[in-house]
Structure 1
């Protein structure tokens, strides 16, 4: 039985590797292919994972075939919900840890440009699979992985030991860990601000690679290189979306935290469609996220308001200012705007959108970021001498 299971797992792994070598920009380097085989992904998944948009539990003991297909699909697998407190069938589940899609895992590993001998810190151990791949490639003594969740850290430590790789597994907040002389820092969670200690912990020429998120849009990878002046600077890269680092989470809801009884909003109109800024155009959303780093949005479809089909809410993360833009379902402008608070947020959104269109509608890879040792973030367009305007 064990031999049969092992053969099935190896066949599934070979199938995934074949797909990766076809779909990635370049086939996996020999060192990463060896790590792929030496650090099997299924060994890092718990017996129960959650699949699909509905986060349906999948138990390996009950449906081993479905579980194994999830383990070797090129897709993320949710491995923890609600920070480890599953509310049960009738509760509201939300993902709090996942095994990232293998394609993005190996794309990020390639972006680290490892040659051997580098000292690496990973932030966000999760299942431990990424740390295992790094340790297989570099040796466990050169890899430190940091996980804020003690239960996840313990599980990852056990999974790593089970296949004979031993990076240093640290339980703690990856944004606060003191480090120095690191050659690489790689995060498997997104950040809204690069922690200052990551910048000061890099050796000259060292690299930070982290998924990026703004309150407006979770999207992209940021690759920074340490400069001689102590700053770290580099470009954004597309096609990535990760869970936010726990220490940077916000939990805001329009009708709980923002809109309150007794507020009297100011009314106006706008020619700018709310769908242009909060629709399917990720390039627009990415640019607005850099220009409005403390602003988020939420759609309310079918509100109980006469003549309104959809309403876009825009608010600051401190919940002091908000705007609502109404779409009545007819074609074209104008759209009704309501605004409250010390900032006129929709004016800021309009200014940010028009700057983006005036700049030629640049995409995420046209932007970059410079971070100082003191933690100051300066986004720029195409080169560091052209800063992105900030509003608010």
Structure 2
């Protein structure tokens, strides 16, 4: 496909200058890759929901969006922005299922991977922008890019070809069998646990970099002689979409009946020592909670009378509701179902207040050859 005739290079250089020093090995890739051609359409968040924007019809907005250090969502549920009329609002309730990751986060993952000039590297495709950065750094003959979505692979391959880059691309579930051996595997989709196929595909001493689904945790681990891997939780936060195995996201969410139950009286009613917390927007507490109770969902909002309510719900029927006159006052808590979700959250907050940090910071990671992934630090551990 032809590259749109817009003056994008000054924008790419400004993006590189804003976040990298010129002597960085990643300055040139960020300054040289035309990110806008990988995102001709995207979903922009508005008060009305996520609305499709079309780059070629508004090149100023296109360049501003493409060369800002932000993630651009390109697919929600099964709806791809490329196939949707500009101005269309995405169906409510859908999960983002593909995006162009913010450039500095891609660079962070690549730095954590400790890429050598000859590293044979597997990356996940998405729009293809991250693949293009890897190709500029390593040479396209060292890069393999895979995605479960045939359209994404086709579109990314064509856009990479348009700028003279020809990595190996393939339609493949990244959590399944992988087509070759690699020195590095870098995933911009989240997993839980680490797929055993990655350990099979990694060469001895090879390194994997990924995130744990529904958390902000980045795991960096090197393959060990026994076929497993060892490493650490990186000192950075990141949240990626979970790996898809088909056409749509496979999140298991609490049923409407569970959320409905959270508006009633609890089987257990108590006070709380802590004021309300917007868990969804706290990296460390949210990550710790999702390690303990994977699948829990959160809602928080202000009521018409000015009071605040936080709700938690789980697909197993567990729920909690905390009501408080203000954000600063301790709430009254109602809980129901097989687990006490608020009690779990409160224990995490008590640990943080007692020790000043949560044990997942700097935790060691041990992965068995079959993919069982354990985080551990001191007396604390969590197995995924």
TM-score w.r.t. the length of structure 2 is 0.83
Question: Any gaps of 5 or more consecutive residues in structure 2?
Answer: none
Answer yes or no: is the 8 Å Cα contact 1:284–1:361 preserved in 2. no
Between the aligned partners of 1:140 and 1:315, the Cα distance in structure 2 is 45
3-state SS of 2:164 partner: coil
Written as runs of structure 1 = structure 2, the 5 A alignment for 1:158-197 is 158-179=158-179, 181-197=181-197
**Aligned-pair CA distance for 1:35:** 3.2
Q: Which residue of 2 aligns with 1:10?
A: 9
Residue 281 (structure 2) pairs with residue 288 (structure 1) = no
3-state SS of 1:338 partner: strand
Answer yes or no: is the 8 Å Cα contact 1:183–1:207 preserved in 2. yes
193-202 or 49-58: which moved more? 49-58
Question: Any gaps of 5 or more consecutive residues in structure 1?
Answer: none
Answer yes or no: is the 8 Å Cα contact 1:122–1:187 preserved in 2. yes
Deviations 1:307-358 (A, max 9, x none): 9944333333x424333333344864462322222x3333333334434444
TM-score w.r.t. the length of structure 1 is 0.81
- Structure 1 residues 160 and 334: CA distance shift in structure 2, 3 A: closer
Q: Which residue of 1 aligns with 2:341?
A: 345
Residue 356 (structure 2) pairs with residue 360 (structure 1) = yes
268-277 or 195-204: which moved more? 268-277
Written as runs of structure 1 = structure 2, the 5 A alignment for 1:263-282 is 265-273=266-274, 275-276=276-277, 278=279, 281-282=282-283
Between the aligned partners of 1:175 and 1:4, the Cα distance in structure 2 is 35
**Aligned-pair CA distance for 1:185:** 0.5
Residue 57 (structure 2) pairs with residue 62 (structure 1) = yes
Answer yes or no: is the 8 Å Cα contact 2:50–2:89 preserved in 1. no
- Structure 1 residues 52 and 4: CA distance shift in structure 2, 3 A: closer
- Structure 1 residues 231 and 319: CA distance shift in structure 2, 3 A: same
Residue 79 (structure 2) pairs with residue 80 (structure 1) = no
3-state SS of 2:335 partner: strand
Between the aligned partners of 2:4 and 2:153, the Cα distance in structure 1 is 31
Between the aligned partners of 1:249 and 1:224, the Cα distance in structure 2 is 26
Q: Which residue of 2 aligns with 1:245?
A: 243
| Matching residue within 303, 310, 314 for 2:312 | 314
| Matching residue within 360, 369, 372 for 1:373 | 369
Q: Which residue of 1 aligns with 2:37?
A: 43
Between the aligned partners of 1:314 and 1:260, the Cα distance in structure 2 is 11
169-178 or 148-157: which moved more? 169-178
Q: Which residue of 2 aligns with 1:29?
A: 24
148-157 or 12-21: which moved more? 12-21
Answer yes or no: is the 8 Å Cα contact 1:287–1:356 preserved in 2. no
Residue 225 (structure 2) pairs with residue 224 (structure 1) = no
- Structure 1 residues 11 and 55: CA distance shift in structure 2, 3 A: same
Residue 97 (structure 2) pairs with residue 96 (structure 1) = yes
Between the aligned partners of 1:255 and 1:3, the Cα distance in structure 2 is 46
Answer yes or no: is the 8 Å Cα contact 2:121–2:144 preserved in 1. yes
Between the aligned partners of 1:372 and 1:340, the Cα distance in structure 2 is 34
